[in-house]
Amino acid sequence: MDIVTTLYGRQERSWQIQANCMGVDPDLFFPERGASTREAKEVCRGCVVREDCLEYALANGEKFGIWGGMSERERRRVRRARALQRRDSVGHAS
């Protein structure tokens, strides 16, 4: 069983079987605080399901690890930018 299924159960994640990270030690994607994320991001770099992985992490509020080639800090910036876009588009729709 993979780490995501272990942590989150069996949801629709058929994209995972195509992921570059399948078979890679999950610890690589959950480095200790302050440790390098370079190796994990390198695995993600050419992955065909990178966007699916990132969207999964964003939709599920993943707080830890590298998902879709991004750290939690990077994902937080994406969430913030999207929230601002939604707010702006709602403000202009009125």
3-state secondary structure 1-68: CCHHHHHHCCCCCHHHHHCCCCCCCHHHHCCCCCCCCHHHHHHHHCCCCHHHHHHHHHHCCCCCCCEC
Q: What is the pLDDT of residues 33-72, one digit of tens each?
A: 899 999 999 999 999 999 999 999 999 999 999 999 999 9
pTM greater than the 0.85 cutoff: no
